[in-house]
């Protein structure tokens, strides 16, 4: 790591299962790159319960409050005990209203070639607010299940501004607003209405604007994904579409995610903790490394982010060093070492 640059404090949450392995590999590669992060290592998920009796310990929250920046491996939400998802809690705590999920083809020869999509998902409203309850009838305590979804005008503005500004900053040509305003006229109608007004008032002509109903969008993504560029949508729809887009480019093991708000930015691998292969040294760290590249972009070191992405491309496609899930034989460590060799040139 360079000693001439100012170090940026950042929280590191290795996570559960394969998290510690892919995090170690990612840090090894970031060190070779000279990434300017000064890490505070914390725990969450099952590791948080084991160490502190809480999947989101106060020490971890305090660290992110200080650094406003984090890199996070996959977390396991303990079953039973009434534990809420640490990921959801982090989004709520730090008002991380934008979930940024790029889906880009890294290896040719899959079902789809040359995919380059970005999904911007509203991250803290909608049906994820968790306003749910049961109504008991005739002795059945769960006779009726009810949920209330809430989208606010300001919440819509936040994610739409993020998506529109992202498209302009990254030279994207089109933004697709995905909704269900034909049926959910209030809950997603407010989202569509806000998008239309914002585009007309502030963004007219800066990119192509279109609107698509969610079910039609899901179909079009698998029939002709190249018609899309940047997509922006509400929380639940974004949760579903982001995984669909990941499926176009090889699965969650190839796709990073970022949770961004006014108070912090948390970058993560969006796949699970894969306890069945934990400790075997065969996990694919690509998603977390791509998240680290996004983190470098975020701190205005896109030069380093681009170098990392180029190294990943070269190792996968020129050196043909790939983990087992990609049809190769490399271990997590061998893959990391190949990336270090590319970076050091």
pLDDT tens track for 207-252: 999 999 999 999 999 999 999 999 999 999 999 999 999 999 988 8
In Å, what is the CA distance from 145 to each residue of 133, 138, 148? 6, 15, 11
Grade residue 1 by pLDDT with cuts at 50, 70 and 90: very low
Is the confidence at residue 3, as pLDDT, over 70? no
The confidence score (pLDDT) of residue 82 equals: 65
CA dihedral 330, 334, 339, 341 (to 10 degrees): -130
Structure confidence at residue 77 as a pLDDT band (50, 70, 90): confident
Reported as a pLDDT band with limits 50, 70 and 90, residue 98 is very high
- Decide if pLDDT at 264 tops 70: yes
Q: 140 forms bridges with which residues in the sheet?
A: 137
Q: Which CATH number fits domain 108-116+126-250: 3.40.50.720, 3.30.70.20, 3.40.718.10, 1.20.1440.230?
A: 3.40.718.10
Instruction: Please determine, for residue 80, whether its predicted confidence score (pLDDT) is greater than 90.
Output: no
For the chain, what is the mean pLDDT? 94
Yes or no: say if 237 and 122 are a contact pair by the CB < 8 Å rule. no
Tell me: pLDDT of 309 over 90: yes
Whole-angstrom distance, CA of residue 288 vs CA of residue 327: 19
Q: Quote the CA–CA distance of 291 and 288 in Å, as a whole number.
A: 5
> Band of the pLDDT at 256, cuts 50, 70, 90?
very high
* Spans of all domains in the chain: 1-94+263-345, 108-116+126-250
Task: Give the tokens for residue 165.
Answer: 């500004």
pLDDT at 257 exceeding the cut of 70: yes
Q: What local confidence, expressed as pLDDT, does residue 2 receive?
A: 44
The candidate with the shortest Cα–Cα distance to 250, out of 120, 74, 115, 118, is 115
Say how far apart CA 167 and CA 128 lie, in whole Å. 26
Rounded Cα distance between 229 and 77, Å, is 33
Residues 6+ apart with CB under 8 A from 223: none
Tell me the two tokens of residue 338.
Answer: 């190949």
The reply to whether 1-94+263-345 and 108-116+126-250 are identical in fold is: yes
Secondary structure of residue 274 in the 3-state scheme: coil
Give the separation between CA 70 and CA 147, rounded to whole angstroms: 31
Q: For the structural domain made of 1-94+263-345, what CATH number should be given?
A: 3.40.718.10
Between 128 and 280, the more confident residue is 280
Residue 21's pLDDT is 96
For the stretch 19-57, pLDDT in tens is 999 999 999 999 999 999 999 999 999 999 999 989 999
pLDDT average, residue stretch 153-169: 98
* Average of per-residue pLDDT across 110-134: 91
Residue with tokens 């170690």: 24
For the cut 50, the answer to whether the pLDDT of residue 106 exceeds it is yes
């Amino acid at each position: 790591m360079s000693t001439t640059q100012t170090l940026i404090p950042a929280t590191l949450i290795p996570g559960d299962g394969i998290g510690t392995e892919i995090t170690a590999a990612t840090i090894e590669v970031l060190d070779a790159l000279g990434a300017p992060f000064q890490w505070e290592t914390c725990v969450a998920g099952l590791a948080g319960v084991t160490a502190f009796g809480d999947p989101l310990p106060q020490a971890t929250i305090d660290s992110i409050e200080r650094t406003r920046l984090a890199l996070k491996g996959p977390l396991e939400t303990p079953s039973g005990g009434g534990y809420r998802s640490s990921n959801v809690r982090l989004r709520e705590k730090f008002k991380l209203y934008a979930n940024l999920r790029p889906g880009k083809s890294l290896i040719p020869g899959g079902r789809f070639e040359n995919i380059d999509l970005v999904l911007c998902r509203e991250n803290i409203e909608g049906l994820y607010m968790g306003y749910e309850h049961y109504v008991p009838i005739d002795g059945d305590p769960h006779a009726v299940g009810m949920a209330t979804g809430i989208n606010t005008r300001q919440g819509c503005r936040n994610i739409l501004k993020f998506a529109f500004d992202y498209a302009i900053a990254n030279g994207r040509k089109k933004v697709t607003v995905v909704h269900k305003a034909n049926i959910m006229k209030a809950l997603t109608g407010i989202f569509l209405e806000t998008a239309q007004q914002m585009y007309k008032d502030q963004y007219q002509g800066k990119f192509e604007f279109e609107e698509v109903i969610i079910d039609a969008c899901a179909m079009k993504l698998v029939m002709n994904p190249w018609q899309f560029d940047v997509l922006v949508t509400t929380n639940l729809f974004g949760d579903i579409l982001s995984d669909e887009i990941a499926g176009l480019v090889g699965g969650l093991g190839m796709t990073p995610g970022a949770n961004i708000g006014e108070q912090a930015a948390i970058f993560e691998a969006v796949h699970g903790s894969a306890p069945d292969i934990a400790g075997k040294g065969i996990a694919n760290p690509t998603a977390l490394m791509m998240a680290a590249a996004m983190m470098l972009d975020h701190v205005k070191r896109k030069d380093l982010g681009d170098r990392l992405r180029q190294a990943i491309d070269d190792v996968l496609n020129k050196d043909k060093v790939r983990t087992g899930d990609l049809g190769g034989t490399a271990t997590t460590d061998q893959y990391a070492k190949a990336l270090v060799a590319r970076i050091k040139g």
